[in-house]
A = this chain, B = another copy of it.
C-alpha cells in the first residue's frame, strides 16, 4: 500500500500551458469556444502532467457527482442467491460507465440500514438512485422518495397510492406467464397446474395473474403456493400430485421451483415431458440447463432491464438541466420488457 503522490491541479496545467485556469477548465470539459491552438497546448499539458480532475472540487461547485446509487435489499435472499442481481448490475454498470457515471452500491439488511441509506441519499452524495423493490410493503421506496432523489425502480413497486409518477422497469411477468401456459395448452395439455412464488412479490403475483388470464376457469386445486425455492417447488408438487393425480402440465413460477417439481415428478415415476410437461420462468442458466431434462422456460432480459433502468435515470437527470417547465412529458412511468420462451426438453 503505497503513498498517494500529490496530483497535479488545474492550476499546474494552466501554468504549463501558459493559459488561465478557466481555459483549461473549458478544454477539459468538452471544449467550446477555445481556439484550436490553445486547446491543443492545454491537452498536451494535461497529457504530460497526467492531470485528472478532482471530482470533489468539481462536485462542490456543480452539485453533480457523476454518481448513481444502486440500492438493494439483501434479506430478500433471492436477490443474492441467484445470478439475477449480478446480471442486472452488469447492465447498470455498462450503461453508467458509458455515460461516465460511477456506481455506488448500497446494500441493506434491515431497519438500521434503512436509516443509513436514507441519510446517504438525502445527503446529496449521488445524482440519482436505482432501487430494487421487490416486495409488498417494502419501506425502501418510501424512504427513497422522501430523500428527494431522482429514482428509477427495478420491478413494479406495489403502491397503489395514486401517485403514478414513479418510473420503473420490469419484465413482462404476466405476459411471460401467459406465453408459458399457452405453450402448454398448445401441446394439448388440459390439466395445467401452477406453482406460484411468494405472492407478496409483485413478480410472483403477476405471473399468477398471467396464468389466470389463460386458465380463468382452472380448478383452484391446480394452483399450489411455492416460494421461489426448489424445496418449495418439491412441496408444492407433492401437494399438487396428491390433489390432482391426473395433471399433465406444470407452470412453475421460477426455475428453482421447476427444478424441485422435476425431482418430485421423477420420484413419483412421472415421465417428463411425456406424462407431465413443465415450464419454468427466469432462464437462470446454472439451473435451467442443469435440470434433468433441461428446462423449458421463460427468459427475461435481465441485463437489459438493468441497462434500461440506468438509461431512464440518466435521461431524467439530463432533462433536469434545461429545466424547461414547458418541456414535454418526461420518462415514461413504467417500462415493461418482453420475455421469450426458451424451448428445451421439459415441454
Contact = CB atoms under 8 A, between A and B. Distances in A.
Contact of A107 (B54, B67, B90, B128): B90
A167 B52 contact: no
A104 B107 contact: no
A331 B286 CA distance: 37
Nearest to A303: B80
A102 B230 CA distance: 35
A273 interface: no
B230 A55 contact: no
B65 A122 contact: no
Contact of A119 (B52, B122, B230, B290): B52
A256 B286 contact: yes
A216 interface: no
A62 B284 CA distance: 45
Contacts of A67: 104
Interface in A92-121: 93-94, 97, 102-107, 109, 113, 116, 119-120
Main secondary structure of the interface of A (DSSP, over half): mixed
A150 interface: yes
Contacts of A287: 286-287, 290
A25 to B, nearest CB: 16
Given A55-B123, A60-B54, A90-B107, A150 B1 contact: yes
A75 to B, nearest CB: 11
A316 B65 CA distance: 27
26 contacts: A1-B128, A1-B151, A5-B148, A7-B122, A52-B119, A53-B123, A55-B123, A55-B125, A56-B59, A57-B60, A80-B87, A81-B83, A82-B286, A90-B107, A93-B107, A97-B116, A102-B106, A103-B104, A104-B104, A230-B286, A230-B290, A256-B286, A259-B290, A263-B292, A290-B291, A292-B292
Given A102-B120, A103-B105, 14 more contacts: A1-B128, A2-B148, A4-B148, A54-B60, A55-B123, A56-B57, A80-B86, A82-B83, A85-B86, A93-B105, A94-B107, A97-B107, A230-B289, A287-B290
